[in-house]
Amino acid sequence: MSSRRLFLHKLTAGLATIPFLSWDEVPVLTEAVKVPRPLNVAIMGLGGYGTMVANAMRACKKAKLNGVISGTPSKISDWQTRYRIPEKNCYNYDNFDNIASNPDIDAVYVITPNGLHKDQVIRVAKAGKHVICEKPMAVNAKEGQEMVDACKKANVKLLVGYRMHFEPKTLEIIRLRKAGELGKIMFFQGLSGFTIGDPKQWRLNKALAGGGSLMDIGIYAVNGARYMVGEEPVWVTAEETKTDPVKFAEGVDETIQFQFGFPSGAIASCLSSYNISYLDRFFLSGDKGFGELYPATGYGPIMGRTNKGELSFLHVTHQTVQMEEMADIILNGKTPIVPVDGEEAVKDLKIMDAIYLAAKTGKKIPLK
């Protein structure tokens, strides 16, 4: 046998010993793809807004509702069924410190009355979980700073539910202002108001709300003035109007008008009210153009225009976008265009403290 034929004979004999594999049995060699895990969130406070956030999170890919904290057993049971929450991830206000040993919860979104925020946020931080707190973060700047300090000490992030900081038409006006397309900013107007209903609700309870319309909706104008103008105010004046002292008891403001002055010379004129409806407008004026949002802070869609025409962006549920962005901030260290951290909230609280002082004293209050 020639050497060539001997080689082929040995080769085919060797191949005969290799078992035949069907296509189903052939291993697929692919590069492993790491799928990032979502931020697992527990919601504390299962009321109307908590439900809105929970429903919005159904569309999230980066954030997942995975726990609940409530003082009402029937609500916990209902949410377990509706959102498929495991029993082991359900807590009440007495035992929620036990989340410390629960790896299924990364962060807690506190959506309870304002007066409860400080103690609840600090407890969550001590349990080693990140915190998202609905605005206003606290009832005054002192409490807000205590919350910031507690979260820093526990090495957890503290974010605040500033959903408008991610709204595209809002961000477009901010972009135009930063790009100089509006010129020198001269004036901002922020109007926030509606006629409040049930006089027994917690928003009209000083201990739980920390105030009245300013704490609830006036904060939009306070915060909006800062990010629209792009500066921190240096003085505040304010005046309160009260037509119903029974419904709006001492310490619960019905309507407040307030004004800011900024280092550049720009001024802001704002109003918040629980007794005037159809107020939801931001207007920013520069010497080369303007930006307007009306409605400016409602749940959507937001409507906007500038001196060059209408702003057109696809509306996505605000709370869905907010939770996606906050998951990125917590898990990946993303930096938002407009801050949403606890320090940002303390700045608002200091200004609101000054507004109340100005309304009480009738004096122009300087801001540090």
Q: Indicate which residues carry an active-site annotation.
A: 135, 220
Helix then strand then coil, in percent of the chain rounded to 5, is 40, 25, 40
Burial 324-338 (b: 16+ CB within 10 A, else e): bbbbbbbbeeeebeb
* DSSP output for 14-65: HHTTSPP--GGGSPP------PPPPEEEEEE--SHHHHHHHHHHTT-SSEEE
Cis peptide before 301 (omega within 30 of 0): yes
- Report the residue count for the chain: 368
**Segment holding 194, helix H or strand E:** strand 185-195
Taking the CB of residue 186, how many other CB atoms lie within 10 A of it? 16
